[in-house]
Structure formats: C-alpha cells, structure tokens
C-alpha cells in the first residue's frame, strides 16, 4: 500500500513540513525529483515548486542544518527499519501532555489533507487523538463515513470518545457511526447481545471495509497512561503484566511480539477486533514518548502500519529496538 496521495491538496503540499521533507530527500539523500514525488505522494511538478520555494526561503541553508533535519532523518530511518510508507516525527517535548499535544497536532494536519471523498475512516479515541482536533481543518468531503472503533465511558472528563468521533465527522460533513456501549462489559454474553441485538452490528460491518484506520496505543506498566488503565481492576492489570503484556491497542492487550494476551478480559472489551483493523487499506498509528516504543513496535507487528506519527523520543527508542532485534 503506497502512502496516501495529497497532490490535490495545496495547503498541505506547500506547508513547511512537506516542503522540508522534499528538500531533505532531494538534497541530502540524493533522490531524483521523480523519486521524491513518489516517496511523499505528490506530483513531480509539485516537488519542483516546493524545492524552488525552499531555496527562496533559505530553508535548505538554515532550517535543515539547524535541527529540523533531525526529525526528517529519523522519519526516513523509521520508514526503512519498519517497512512504513510514511513516518512523521515531531520534536520531543518535556511532558506526556506536551508529547500528546505535539503528536496530535501532526495527526490533525495529516488528516486534514489525507481524507478523500468516498472514504470510510475508523477512529479510536484517547488523549493524542483528541489533541488532533486543534489542527484538523478539512474541506467538506462527499460520501465519507466516520466509524468509532471502540466503546466509551459513562463519566467523561477531558477525553470524550463520542465528542471526538462526532467532531471529526461534523467537520468533514460525514456520516457518523458512534460505538454507543461501555468500553468494558461484564461478560462475553453481554458483549454478544449488545452487538447482535442493540444496533452495534452495523459498526462491525462498516469496519470490515475501512479505507483508513486511525489508532493509538499505550504502554502497560508503572508509567502507563493508556486509556484502559483507569477502567480495569488492579488485579487484572497485574495479571496482564505477569503474562507479558507491554501494550494496550484499543484496549486489546499485546505482548512484545504483537501477540494477543490470552486473558478473560479480551472477551469483555467492546471494540472492533484487531484482525478487522488490520484489513484497513491504510493504517495510521499515532503515539509518542520513548517509554511507548515497545508498544508501538508491538502494534505494528500486530496490525501493520502505513503511516506512523510519533515523536523523537519514541523514534530513537524504536530504532534501538530494531537494531537489537537485527543483532539477535
């Protein structure tokens, strides 16, 4: 799956981020204009215009040599190490909140220009995805469906899963399909009943044919801020960790190699199965923070990834993991 094309979206194609990426690939990596166009998903004419604009703005001389190149280089290395179509790396921040905001803003800019007409997009929810709304400024789209991929919570504070899906759909002028169920239920039977008898089956059917899936992941451990941490019992969390869990992806619990942890809680989670998410034509994975590198790696191994949006800390840690795996 090639990266999502954005040559028809002038605002993003002429933005500093994509322009600097084109300049880096052309001047530092030695790619031809045609190769750059194919790699970043725009036309060769657009590349020529961006390179000319970068020279006029002195960006090649100043910006690439003074720090922006670090993020671009990390992105290129991640693409190679993990077989990604595209990586977007933002500068490291001083706190988890700032990291979520920075990565989320990059996601919002990406989605602004990457969602086409005639598209079904599935979304999770969480702190980073919510932060994307601040920079999400899309044009109105035709025949777009936005589908929530997992249940929510009764008591919502700063993160409201229903609001995220609804606002995303509203700004696109899209049809909105909400996952109106708790994130966790009491039994496998309750889950089956809600899906088959309470109108949720439509969500699962739409998810089978997603064009874009936007998911995030969190780590499991002492520093964890994953969305499941506040919704599962402490003894269940301890059992998951003891079983080798390092990752929470849409409240699906994975070990370091991306295998689903065999724990009873998996049958009580109200979410689209990761095997279904894996079928999406383009998977966007969004998460940041060095401590989440094992979780990001596990998620890539489980469902794959076309576009990864992360920060410098996670990128560096992921590259170390890739090097260690290659040396083993």
278 and 238 in one domain?
yes
One domain, residues 171 and 309: yes
What is the domain extent for residue 28? 16-57
Q: Is residue 156 in some structural domain?
A: yes
Q: Which residues fall within 8 angstroms of residue 322, CB to CB, at 6 or more apart?
A: 81, 82, 297
* 206 lies in the same domain as 78: yes
Residue 69 — pLDDT band, cuts 50, 70, 90?
low
Q: What is the pLDDT of residue 54?
A: 82
234 pLDDT above the threshold of 50: yes
Q: Do residue 169 and residue 134 come from a single domain?
A: yes
Euclidean distance between CA atoms 43 and 46, whole angstroms: 5
Q: At what angle do helices 44-56 and 16-23 cross, to 10 degrees?
A: 100
pLDDT at site 158: 61
Is residue 220 assigned to a domain? yes
- Name 146's bridge partners: 121, 176
Tell me: do 300 and 172 sit in the same domain. Answer: yes
Q: Does residue 51 sit in the same domain as residue 76?
A: no
- For CA atoms 153, 157, 161, 163, give the dihedral sign: positive
As to burial, measured by CB atoms within 10 angstroms (0-12 exposed, 13-18 middle, 19+ buried), residue 220 is: buried
| All residues at 6 or more sequence positions from 48 whose CB lies less than 8 Å from its CB, including other chains | 33
33, 175: one domain: no
pLDDT surpassing 60 at residue 108 = yes
- 106 exposed, middle or buried (CB, 10 Å; 0-12, 13-18, 19+)? buried
Indicate the pLDDT class of residue 226, thresholds 50, 70 and 90: low
Q: Residue 229's pLDDT band (boundaries 50, 70, 90)?
A: low
* pLDDT tens-digit map of 134-186: 889 888 899 999 999 999 876 655 666 778 899 999 999 999 999 999 989 99
pTM of the entire predicted model:
0.80
Q: How many domains does the chain have?
A: 2
| In a domain? residue 26 | yes
The alpha helices in the chain, defined as continuous H runs, are 10-13, 16-23, 33-40, 44-56, 68-82, 96-114, 127-131, 161-172, 188-197, 201-207, 234-242, 274-277, 293-303, 312-327
CA 178 centroid distance within chain: 19
Is 221 part of any domain?
Answer: yes
pLDDT tens string 265-288: 999 999 999 999 999 999 999 999
Query: Does some domain include residue 251?
Result: yes
- Per-residue pLDDT tens digits for 178-211: 999 998 999 999 999 999 998 899 999 999 999 9
Instruction: With a cut of 50, say whether residue 65 has pLDDT above it.
Output: no
Are residues 188 and 52 located together in one domain of the fold?
Answer: no
- CA distances to 26, 126, 217 from 306, rounded to whole Å, are 22, 20, 15
Residue 57 contacts residue 15 (beta carbons within 8 Å): no
Instruction: For residues 218 and 254, state if they share a domain.
Output: yes
CATH of the domain at 244: 3.40.50.1360
Q: How far apart are CA 38 and CA 3, in angstroms?
A: 9
Question: Buried b vs exposed e over 12-44: b needs ≥16 C-beta within 10 Å?
Answer: bbebebbbbbbbbbbeeeebebeebbbbbbbee
Do both 87 and 21 map to the same domain? no
Indicate whether 34 belongs to any domain.
Answer: yes
Per the domain annotation, does 183 fall within a domain?
yes
Q: pLDDT over 90 for what percent of the chain?
A: 62
- Which pLDDT score is estimated for 168? 94
Instruction: Assess whether 124 and 225 both reside in one domain.
Output: yes
292 and 161 together in one domain: yes
Mean per-residue pLDDT over the chain, rounded: 87
CATH code, domain carrying 35: 1.10.10.10
């Amino acid at each position: 799956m090639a990266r999502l094309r954005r040559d028809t979206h002038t605002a993003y194609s002429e933005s500093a981020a994509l322009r600097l990426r084109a300049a880096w690939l052309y001047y530092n990596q030695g790619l031809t204009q045609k190769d750059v166009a194919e790699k970043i998903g725009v036309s060769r004419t657009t590349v020529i215009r961006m390179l000319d604009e970068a020279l006029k703005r002195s960006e090649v001389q100043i910006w690439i040599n003074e720090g922006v190149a670090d993020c671009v280089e990390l992105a290129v290395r991640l693409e190679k190490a993990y077989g990604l179509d595209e990586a977007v790396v933002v500068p490291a921040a001083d706190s988890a909140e700032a990291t979520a905001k920075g990565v989320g803003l990059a996601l919002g800019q990406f989605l602004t220009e990457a969602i086409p007409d005639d598209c079904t997009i599935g979304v999770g929810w969480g702190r980073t995805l919510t932060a994307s709304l601040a920079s999400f400024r899309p044009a109105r789209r035709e025949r777009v469906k936005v589908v929530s991929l997992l249940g929510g919570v009764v008591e919502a504070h700063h993160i409201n899963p229903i609001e995220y899906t609804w606002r995303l759909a509203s700004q696109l002028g899209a049809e909105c399909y909400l996952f109106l169920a708790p994130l966790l239920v009491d039994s496998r039977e309750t889950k089956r009943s809600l899906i088959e008898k309470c109108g949720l089956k439509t969500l699962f059917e739409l998810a089978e044919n997603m064009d874009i899936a936007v998911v995030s992941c969190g780590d499991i451990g002492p520093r964890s801020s994953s969305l499941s941490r506040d919704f599962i019992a402490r003894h269940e969390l301890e059992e998951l960790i003891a079983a080798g869990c390092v990752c929470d992806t849409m409240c699906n619990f994975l070990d370091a190699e991306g295998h689903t942890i065999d724990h009873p809680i998996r049958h009580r989670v109200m979410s689209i199965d990761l095997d279904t998410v894996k079928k999406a034509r383009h998977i966007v994975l969004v998460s940041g923070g060095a401590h989440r590198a094992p979780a990001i790696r596990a998620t890539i191994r489980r469902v794959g990834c076309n576009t990864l949006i992360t920060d410098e800390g996670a990128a560096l840690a992921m590259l170390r993991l890739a090097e260690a795996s290659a040396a083993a």
